[in-house]
Structure 1
């Protein structure tokens, strides 16, 4: 279990990761705009969540929508899940894995002790494990 004392550092790590995502996705979208060929391959992913509270669900949905090239289409609290559109999502499982990485880092940064939990049962087989 991660110490309560590490909470501010975990929150900072989440923020830095999100800034990195923003920079990377801004560059990808800008490059696609200024070059003659489009690299877009849109997809929609259903994302069952490990988020437990409305705050966590809202925070994740907003982080996804703020990132260029992604948009939260639908939010559900019971069961907690999102539908997410990605401009660059030719492989939906890979896109879902990237979204789970964002969820994991956000939960580690937001939760007092950094407990994330396992992936939802229906996703464990597809994604290759828990944590």
Structure 2
């Protein structure tokens, strides 16, 4: 004698089918994301090097706030100032894919002079 009725057994079958379909869709999404970024590591590395080189050519440690502001329009990068972090920041889409970009930070010291430049890779899943 079965503890679960036929109706409950059919519901379990539907539940299992739905669970396996959901797992299948998740696996397909995960694999497509992995294949979409395949082979793009060199592209990212090359662009990061180029960005660091370009920023290093125009900005230098100790540069004044006014000098930095006058140079920024020539770079064609949209910087915004974060007064809480005391830095300029920008996001550069890399062109290697939809899910990656570079974050650029121009950190200032207490006197308003450039203290260091950071370039980091950022990735999103969406």
Q: Same fold (TM over 0.5)?
A: no
Which structure would you say has the larger Rg?
2
TM-score by structure 1 length?
0.30
Q: Which is strand-richer, 1 or 2?
A: 2
TM-score by structure 2 length?
0.31
